[in-house]
């Protein structure tokens, strides 16, 4: 079928963790739409085209296989794909700025602005431009100004449609979203564009779950949602520190507070810290926004969520050093899990990066194990000095180790042959469970000295 024979032509600029899975879901649910995903990264596009996605996400490969080259296409021809698209999603990365004004805090909008200019230069007809990337509030205004600069003949209607998927569960989140949020202007053109997106999502999302709002509310809701989620983790992590000081049990506390339906049970799992490409970036973007709007108290409030997360990682390593007789120099430590969460190979902002660096600074010998994330781990830790190894096999990683440090909640770590691992480790053998996923009592009975997070330790020494 040619592009003209499809009911609608959709383009997505950016074939990453959001662009790829989101467009695969749209293509799968809307077979009468033609969906093209473009990227500047040729290797990524080649992988998408081959049917072997460049990212690991359960269920993604199968979904892509069902629509690839039917109504889902991947390409590096960005400029050539713009003219025929009616709806253009922009899903490029918006990392933290590393230079100049706002460095370390503000969102770096250079990739996003480049796409706005490309759309303007190559559009020969009206377009709906959809912000899929997470952006600071009022970015749509800047986008509109670029798109309409110099009085263009075409009309560009900018919508905000933030993505709420979480990695590892992306396909389920996309198939059954809690809500889809569409922000548009309160003008006839704005509302007509909103309706086009509503129609698209209504192919599979119940109407009552499709929310419409102003563009500014939609942009802010995305930052606020991530800030609230991260805040819950920092809150429970702060409680984990009190638990360790008082012999309370953070899982018991989480259960007790989570059964209050006003609080709810989810996102109350204490951990070595939250990671991922977005929580820190989006909170800092919110903090920067507060500063720009002269709201220093609000900025300080949200900044503390990130500060507590940094504290939690450092606290975890400090605990390891202290419990291993105040020195880990020359001791082999098996790091089990390097992905920022289970079921993904993504390591962006993973606590593992920070923990391993701190362990190496203490001159420990570190061996990193992970079922999916070792290629990324090798990149993240390239050039760090110290004795560092990688071993996909957890048994190989644990052989001769003084301690195991669980940093990712992969299911495989729950059911390892711990008698075998214990037998091969240096004694006394330690376990530091940064995710509270192991059977601590069983490990203790095997002879391990067990340090869970926010729970009383189980020790023989
Ligand atoms: P990503 O880095 O995986 O993908 C972004 C892609 O955009 C890259 O492949 C990059 O090559 C491409 N790109 C950059 N500039 C381009 C240009 N000018 N033209 C064409 N392609 C270009 O990033 P991601 O994780 O998919 O995140 C994208 C956005 O979505 C971010 O704003 C992020 O905050 C947001 N988000 C991410 C997640 C997530 O789980 N990763 C969830 C919700 C929202
Ligand atoms: C998060 C949000 O959950 C998504 O809604 C959002 O779309 C996305 O960010 C984004 O904007 O990028 P994600 O980072 O993929 O998704 O994964 P989460 O499940 O939120 O986990 C984030 C981090 O918090 C992980 O390191 C995870 O291990 C940690 N976490 C999560 C905890 O430490 N405790 C918990 O109880 C929950």
- How many A from CA of 187 to the centre of ligand 1? 29
Query: Tokens in use for 150?
Result: 């110099």
- How many A from CA of 332 to the centre of ligand 2? 30
> What span, in angstroms and rounded, lies between the C-alpha atoms of 352 and 335?
8
Q: Which ligand does the CA of 312 lie closest to?
A: 2
Q: Which ligand does the CA of 117 lie closest to?
A: 1
pLDDT at residue number 461: 87
Contact criterion met (CB below 8 Å) for 348 and 362 = no
Instruction: Report CA-CA distances (Å) from 195 to 141, 202, 419, 448.
Output: 20, 10, 60, 60
pLDDT at residue number 320: 98
pLDDT at residue number 312: 98
CB 235 near ligand 2, within 6 Å: no
Q: What are 90-144's pLDDT values in tens digits?
A: 999 999 989 999 999 988 989 989 999 999 999 989 999 999 999 999 899 888 9
Among 341, 345, 413, 437, which residue has the most ligand 2 atoms within 8 Å of its CB, making it the best to mutate? 341
pLDDT above 70 as % of the chain: 100
| Other beta carbons within 10 Å of 50 | 11
Among 278, 305, 315, which residue has the most ligand 2 atoms within 8 Å of its CB, making it the best to mutate? 278
**Beta strands 127-131; 156-160: pairing state:** parallel
Mean pLDDT on 448-458: 98
CB 267 near ligand 2, within 6 Å: yes
pLDDT at residue number 282: 97
CB 164 near ligand 2, within 6 Å: yes
Instruction: Report CA-CA distances (Å) from 30 to 35, 51, 74, 272.
Output: 9, 19, 17, 41
Using the atom order of ligand 1, give the atom closest to the CA of residue 135. Answer: 32
Using the atom order of ligand 2, give the atom closest to the CA of residue 173. Answer: 5
CB 92 near ligand 1, within 6 Å: yes
Q: What are 253-307's pLDDT values in tens digits?
A: 999 999 999 999 999 999 999 999 999 999 999 999 999 999 999 999 999 999 9
- How many A from CA of 94 to the centre of ligand 1? 7
Query: Tokens in use for 335?
Result: 């790091």
Residue 221, pLDDT > 90, answer: yes
> What span, in angstroms and rounded, lies between the C-alpha atoms of 368 and 378?
9
Mean pLDDT on 432-459: 98
Mean pLDDT on 170-176: 97
CB 275 near ligand 2, within 6 Å: yes
Using the atom order of ligand 2, give the atom closest to the CA of residue 163. Answer: 7
Q: Which ligand does the CA of 178 lie closest to?
A: 2
> What span, in angstroms and rounded, lies between the C-alpha atoms of 150 and 201?
34
Using the atom order of ligand 2, give the atom closest to the CA of residue 278. Answer: 12
pLDDT at residue number 424: 98
Nearest CA to ligand 1 atom 6: 14
CB 95 near ligand 2, within 6 Å: no
pLDDT at residue number 153: 84
What lies within 8 Å, CB to CB, of 210 at 6+ separation is 179, 180, 182, 198, 201, 202
What 3-state class would DSSP assign to 94? Answer: coil
CB 91 near ligand 1, within 6 Å: yes
pLDDT at residue number 261: 98
Among 11, 15, 18, which residue has the most ligand 1 atoms within 8 Å of its CB, making it the best to mutate? 18
Query: Tokens in use for 59?
Result: 């269920």
pLDDT at residue number 370: 98
CB 406 near ligand 2, within 6 Å: no
Residue 172, pLDDT > 90, answer: yes
Q: What are 372-425's pLDDT values in tens digits?
A: 999 999 999 999 999 999 999 999 999 999 999 999 999 999 999 999 999 999
pLDDT at residue number 2: 83
Q: What are 34-43's pLDDT values in tens digits?
A: 999 999 999 9
Residue 168, pLDDT > 80, answer: yes
Average model confidence (pLDDT) for the chain? 96
Nearest to 430 by CA among 417, 443, 439, 420: 443
Catalytic residues: 278
Contact criterion met (CB below 8 Å) for 223 and 162 = no
pLDDT at residue number 150: 80
Residue 152, pLDDT > 80, answer: no
Residue 1, pLDDT > 90, answer: no
CB 78 near ligand 1, within 6 Å: yes
pLDDT at residue number 285: 96
- How many A from CA of 119 to the centre of ligand 2? 32
> What span, in angstroms and rounded, lies between the C-alpha atoms of 413 and 228?
29
* Helix pair angle (215-246, 139-148), 10° resolution: 150
pLDDT at residue number 315: 98
Residue 149, pLDDT > 90, answer: no
CB 276 near ligand 2, within 6 Å: yes
Q: Which ligand does the CA of 271 lie closest to?
A: 2
pLDDT at residue number 349: 97
Residue 203, pLDDT > 90, answer: yes
> What span, in angstroms and rounded, lies between the C-alpha atoms of 424 and 402?
10
Contact criterion met (CB below 8 Å) for 421 and 396 = no
pLDDT at residue number 4: 84
């Amino acid at each position: 079928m040619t592009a003209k024979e499809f009911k609608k032509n959709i383009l997505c600029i950016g074939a990453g963790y959001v662009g790829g899975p989101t467009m695969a879901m749209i293509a799968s649910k809307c077979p009468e739409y033609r969906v093209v995903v473009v990227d500047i990264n040729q290797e990524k596009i080649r992988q998408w085209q081959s049917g072997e996605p460049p990212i690991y996400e359960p269920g993604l490969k199968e979904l892509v296989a069902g629509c690839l080259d039917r109504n889902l296409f991947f390409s590096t021809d960005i400029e050539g794909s713009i003219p025929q698209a009616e709806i253009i999603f922009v899903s490029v990365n918006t990392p933290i700025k590393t230079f100049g004004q706002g460095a370390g805090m503000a969102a770096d909008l250079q990739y996003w602005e480049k796409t706005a200019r490309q759309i303007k230069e190559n559009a020969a007809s009206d377009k709906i431009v959809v912000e899929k990337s997470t952006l600071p509030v009022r970015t749509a205004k800047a986008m509109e100004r670029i798109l309409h600069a110099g009085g263009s003949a075409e009309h560009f209607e900018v919508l905000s449609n933030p993505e709420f998927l979480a990695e590892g569960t992306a396909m389920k989140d996309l198939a059954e979203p809690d809500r889809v949020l569409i922000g548009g202007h309160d003008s006839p053109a704005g509302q007509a564009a909103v309706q086009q997106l509503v129609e698209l999502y209504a192919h599979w999302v119940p109407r009552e779950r499709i929310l419409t709002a102003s563009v500014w509310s939609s942009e802010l809701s995305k930052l606020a949602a991530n800030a609230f989620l991260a805040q819950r983790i920092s809150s429970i992590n702060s409680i984990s520190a009190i638990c360790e000081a008082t012999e309370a049990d953070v899982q018991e506390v989480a259960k007790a507070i989570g059964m209050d339906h006003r609080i709810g049970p989810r996102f109350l799992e204490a951990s070595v810290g939250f990671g991922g490409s977005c929580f820190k970036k989006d909170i800092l973007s919110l903090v920067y926004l507060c500063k720009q709007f002269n709201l220093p108290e609000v900025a300080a409030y949200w900044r503390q969520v990130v500060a507590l997360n940094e504290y939690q990682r450092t606290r975890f390593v400090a605990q390891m050093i202290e419990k291993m007789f105040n020195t880990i120099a020359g001791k082999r430590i098996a790091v089990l899990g390097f992905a920022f969460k289970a079921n993904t190979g993504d390591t962006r902002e993973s606590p593992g990066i920070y923990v391993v660096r701190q362990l190496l600074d203490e001159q420990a010998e570190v061996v990193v194990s992970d079922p999916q994330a070792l290629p990324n781990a090798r990149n993240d830790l390239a050039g760090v000095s110290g004795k560092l190894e990688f071993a996909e096999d957890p048994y190989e990683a644990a052989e001769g180790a003084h301690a195991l440090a669980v940093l990712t909640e992969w299911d495989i770590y729950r059911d390892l042959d711990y008698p075998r691992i214990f037998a091969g480790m240096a004694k006394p053998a330690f376990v530091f469970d940064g995710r509270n996923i192991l059977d601590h009592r069983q490990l203790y009975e095997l002879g391990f000295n067990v340090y869970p997070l926010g729970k009383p330790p189980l020790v023989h020494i």
